């Protein structure tokens, strides 16, 4: 036994400053973890320095960082410093704790992701080209086309999945014969996607609910409600749809869905593309209106031919000859792990800064004047056809328009002056919310089944009074 020391089998002998030190694997491991903790302190410092040098696109905190960047950066650096302190203080115990937590989180995440993928596979969402170019209207639904609609927000059917079908005239409604049957009273509803209502099954849409209620109240099936709602239509397109399609069905009542959004569309010929072939492009595909020298002027869609070409190219390439395709799979948990939170925090910052005013729009006097002229022309044509026109006011429901209450008053006064019916849909929606009812899908933002019922009630309330007077 050289030197009088016995070397243990589980360790090794080190000589330092004349002393012999015996270290075990456990002690060596603890020392290594503590060194790792020290290294993490250095990493945290470097990350902190890098984040400090960054300048956000929307600076606010300290005049340099956006709110989400600041909070996420703070959380990242805090986590690194916490792990460093944990390893420095507790060594192996901290490693066991972190490893156990990491494994647990990983297992839960994998199981949740697999379950989510199975759910998404069973509830698919589709990209659908159910609209086709139309020279008179800008676009309409493909006659006779059938598809499943699950919205455009998510890549799987998260809120609804609705089978849809366009009728022979290119509107998402049941079939109606052009010559009005004897003894039938017809109600035509014109609007955008809120009237189209492909977010709920056909029997739950406002048009169908209104028809059921009218016939149930009158005791005979003598009412027909025709749905001429079309996604992204504006007030000007209501006039075009009346002239091109609606008038030939001889309706007795014509109800149009009007808010600031629909007025703005009247003078906005362009729409942006959502597919790769049209991403970021602004195509003038909507017939627009203007007032020149006191006259209402119609401007045809300049890019109609390009619209036709691009859609046909999409069908033959990205859609493989069809008009519908399943959306590509993504990570199911991704929206829940911060991406949506980042957007929400940024939006909160903009609101706190008061910059949200740049995100809301006003309908200026010129746009309002153009739309009121269109309403005048529409009323004259509807009256000549022996029908009654009514405006369904949703100025305050369209939340992106700041002066919703002001627009409502202008519309109410205009309708009273011109003898046009006025349906305060806004008031009905507000009353429903006061009762704790949700009238829109949380993510899609269109009317849900409750919203469609409230919408139908608002139309029924006005129609029951109008038909009684007659």
Q: How many CB atoms lie within 10 A of CB 165?
A: 16
> What Å distances lie between residue 73 and 31, 49, 59, 335, 340, CA to CA?
30, 11, 14, 19, 16
Residue reference for tokens 């006097």: 365
User: Token digits for 8?
Assistant: 């243990």
Q: Render 89-105 in DSSP notation, one character per residue.
A: HHTHHHHHHHHHHHHHH
293 and 225 belong to one structural domain = yes
Indicate which CATH number applies to the domain containing 180.
3.40.50.1110
* Within a domain: 336: no
* Within a domain: 163: no
Worst-scoring range by mean pLDDT, 26-30, 431-435, 447-451?
26-30
Helices (H), 279-338: 304-316
82 and 206 belong to one structural domain = no
* Within a domain: 314: no
| Closest C-alpha among 218, 261, 264, 266 to residue 241 | 266
Phi-psi group of 63: left, alpha or beta (phi > 0 → left; psi -120 to 50 → alpha; rest → beta): left
* Within a domain: 393: yes
Alpha carbon of residue 291 to chain centroid: 33
Pairing of strands 253-258, 185-191: parallel
Last residue of a domain, one of 122, 144, 162: 122
* Within a domain: 35: yes
374 and 286 belong to one structural domain = yes
Residue 395 structural domain: 176-300+355-462
CA angle 167, 450, 411 (to 5 degrees): 80
Query: Coil, helix or strand for 323?
Result: coil
Q: Are 217 and 179 in contact (CB under 8 A)?
A: no
Q: How many structural domains are present in the chain? A: 2
* Within a domain: 171: no
Last residue of a domain, one of 122, 145, 167: 122
User: Token digits for 299?
Assistant: 């401007």
pLDDT at 399: 60
User: Token digits for 106?
Assistant: 């990983």
Average pLDDT value for residue range 262-283: 82
* Within a domain: 322: no
Q: Are 232 and 265 in contact (CB under 8 A)?
A: yes
CA distance 457 to 247: 25
269 and 397 belong to one structural domain = yes
Check whether 153 has a pLDDT greater than 70.
Answer: yes
* Within a domain: 320: no
CA distance 226 to 176: 8
99 and 228 belong to one structural domain = no
Residue reference for tokens 């009247």: 266
Q: How many CB atoms lie within 10 A of CB 42?
A: 11
Query: Coil, helix or strand for 256?
Result: strand
Grade residue 27 by pLDDT with cuts at 50, 70 and 90: low
Worst-scoring range by mean pLDDT, 323-327, 440-444, 463-467?
463-467
Q: Which are the contacts of 336, defined by CB distance < 8 A and separation ≥ 6? A: none
Q: What is the enclosing helix (H) or strand (E) of 124? A: none
Residue reference for tokens 């992106």: 400
pLDDT at 469: 53
User: Token digits for 334?
Assistant: 């991704």
User: Token digits for 109?
Assistant: 């995440």
210 and 80 belong to one structural domain = no
CA distance 268 to 260: 13
pLDDT at 63: 85
Last residue of a domain, one of 86, 103, 122: 122
Q: Which is higher by pLDDT, 342 or 49?
A: 49
Grade residue 1 by pLDDT with cuts at 50, 70 and 90: very low
282 and 381 belong to one structural domain = yes
Check whether 112 has a pLDDT greater than 60.
Answer: yes
| Closest C-alpha among 196, 316, 207 to residue 251 | 207
225 and 291 belong to one structural domain = yes
pLDDT in tens, 291-300: 999 899 999 9
Q: What is the enclosing helix (H) or strand (E) of 303? A: none
pLDDT at 352: 75
Pairing of strands 388-393, 421-423: parallel
Q: Which are the contacts of 109, defined by CB distance < 8 A and separation ≥ 6? A: 333
253 and 191 belong to one structural domain = yes
- pTM confidence score: 0.81
Sign of CA dihedral 56, 61, 64, 70: negative
Grade residue 338 by pLDDT with cuts at 50, 70 and 90: low
189 and 117 belong to one structural domain = no
254 and 184 belong to one structural domain = yes
194 and 75 belong to one structural domain = no
Strands (E) in 33-141, as ranges, are 126-128, 131-134, 138-141
pLDDT in tens, 359-414: 456 678 999 999 999 999 999 999 999 999 999 999 998 865 456 788 999 999 99
């Amino acid at each position: 036994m050289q030197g009088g020391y016995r070397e243990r089998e589980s360790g090794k002998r080190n000589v330092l400053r004349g002393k012999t030190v015996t270290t075990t694997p456990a002690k060596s491991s603890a020392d290594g973890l503590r060194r790792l903790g020290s290294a993490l302190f250095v990493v945290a410092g470097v990350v902190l320095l890098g984040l400090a040098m960054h300048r956000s696109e929307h600076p606010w905190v300290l005049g340099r960082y956006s709110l989400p960047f600041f909070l996420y950066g703070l959380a990242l650096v805090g986590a690194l410093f916490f792990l460093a302190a944990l390893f420095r203080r507790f060594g192996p115990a901290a490693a066991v704790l972190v490893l156990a937590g990491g494994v647990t989180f990983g297992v839960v995440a994998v199981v949740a992701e697999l379950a989510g993928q199975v759910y998404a596979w069973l509830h698919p969402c589709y990209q659908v080209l159910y609209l086709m170019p139309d020279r008179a209207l800008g676009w309409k639904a493909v006659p006779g086309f059938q598809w499943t609609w699950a919205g455009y927000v998510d890549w799987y059917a998260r809120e609804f999945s609705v089978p849809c079908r366009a009728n022979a005239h290119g509107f998402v409604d049941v079939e109606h014969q052009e010559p009005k049957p004897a003894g039938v009273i017809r109600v035509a509803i014109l609007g955008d996607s809120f009237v189209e209502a492909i977010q709920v099954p056909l029997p739950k849409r406002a048009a169908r609910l209104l028809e059921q209620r009218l016939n149930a109240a009158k005791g005979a099936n003598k009412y027909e409600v025709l749905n001429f709602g079309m996604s992204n239509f504006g007030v000007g397109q209501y006039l075009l749809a009346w002239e091109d399609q609606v008038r030939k069905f001889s309706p007795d009542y014509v109800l149009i869905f009007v808010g600031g959004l629909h007025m703005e569309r009247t003078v906005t010929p362009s729409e942006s593309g959502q597919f790769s072939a049209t991403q970021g492009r602004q195509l003038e595909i909507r017939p627009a209106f203007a007032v020149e020298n006191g006259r209402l002027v119609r401007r045809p869609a300049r890019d109609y031919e390009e619209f036709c070409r691009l859609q046909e190219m999409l069908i033959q390439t990205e859609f493989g000859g069809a008009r519908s395709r399943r959306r590509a799979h993504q990570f199911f948990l991704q929206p829940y792990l911060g991406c949506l939170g980042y957007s929400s925090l940024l939006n909160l910052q903009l609101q706190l800064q008061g910059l949200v005013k740049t995100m809301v729009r006003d309908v200026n006097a010129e746009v309002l004047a153009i739309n009121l002229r269109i309403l005048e022309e529409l009323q004259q044509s509807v009256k000549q056809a022996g029908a009654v026109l009514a405006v369904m006011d949703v100025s305050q429901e369209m939340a992106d328009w700041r002066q919703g209450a002001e627009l409502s008053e202008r519309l109410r006064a205009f309708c009273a002056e011109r003898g046009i019916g006025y349906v305060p849909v806004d008031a009905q929606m507000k009353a429903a919310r006061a009762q704790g009812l949700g009238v829109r899908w949380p993510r899609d933002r269109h009317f849900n089944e409750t919203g469609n019922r409230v919408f139908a009630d608002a139309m029924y309330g006005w129609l029951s009074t109008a038909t009684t007077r007659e």
